Amino acid sequence: MKLKGKVALITGSTRGIGKEFALGFAREGADVIINGRNIEQAKTVANEIEGLGVRSLAIGADVSSLQDVNRMVDEAVGVFGRVDILVNNAGVNPFILEAERIKEEGWDQVMNVNLKGVFLCCQAVGKEMMKQGGGKIINISSTAGILGEQGFLPYCVSKAGVMTLTRILAYEWSRYNILVNAIAPGFIAAGMNTPILNKEILLSGLTQQVPLKRLGNPEEIVRVALFLASDDSSYINGTTIIADGGMMGYHPTGLIDLIAEMRKKKGS
């Protein structure tokens, strides 16, 4: 019960790894605010959370909208009185395209959610944390923001931006006892990577590129987040914890190359 008595707001927590964050935090005693654009999905997860013996609140909000974010934070503080932990998990990666084929609206869609949304939530919750004397912010980045990846230019740039945002906020907000850190997962068997799990060539190709020869489990990332959210990480600030099974040792083959290989084998 490392988080007993704490209130956690987790964006993009209606499914995938975001939902796993919510369940993991609840099992450690935290009251959890569930966020997603679909309020009915958020309510379903909130009910599941309450079944674990803690309080939960579902809030439908688009993190790329300042109005939505401010409303979400106001509602959370109105119900619970404070927000001790913010996990910026909401993110999108809607396409795999070469750089020359990316359209302006596609670029904006990714940046608005993955980077602008993280900033808006940090800013809104950060102001409340300043009033209450501190808090923990955990931003979900990606190793793609360090290594880069074919076909994911906007995503990679947005996740690199999240790491820079994390370092600057940690420096600026240390005086308020607000600790800001990030997690950079590698290939995780959940969320955006779910479609890959059903394609044997892609799954095998990616797995072979990981020194541990497997994709990560969502629970392994949840444990990193729990560490950063708890008092165990009281002297860790402004860092990005990489959880990728050792992939940072070299640059892997891109998904575009793997997809091309898959199509070639299908045609033979």
Find where tokens 């290939």 sit: 187
Contacts of residue 52, defined as CB under 8 A and 6 or more positions apart, other chains included, come to: 23, 26, 27
Alpha-carbon dihedral 256, 262, 267, 268, rounded to 10 degrees:
130
User: Which residues, 6+ apart, have CB-to-CB distance to 241 below 8 Å?
Assistant: 181, 182, 183, 184, 224, 228
Q: Which amino acid is at 130?
A: M
Contact 70, 96 (CB under 8 A): no
Q: If you ran DSSP here, which 8-state letter would residue 87 be given? A: E
* Pairwise CA distance, residues 176 & 133, whole Å: 6
155 is catalytic: yes
Count of CB atoms situated within 10 Å of the CB of 250: 9
Centre a 10 Å sphere on the Cβ of residue 99 and count the other Cβ atoms it contains: 10
Active site (catalytic) residues? 155
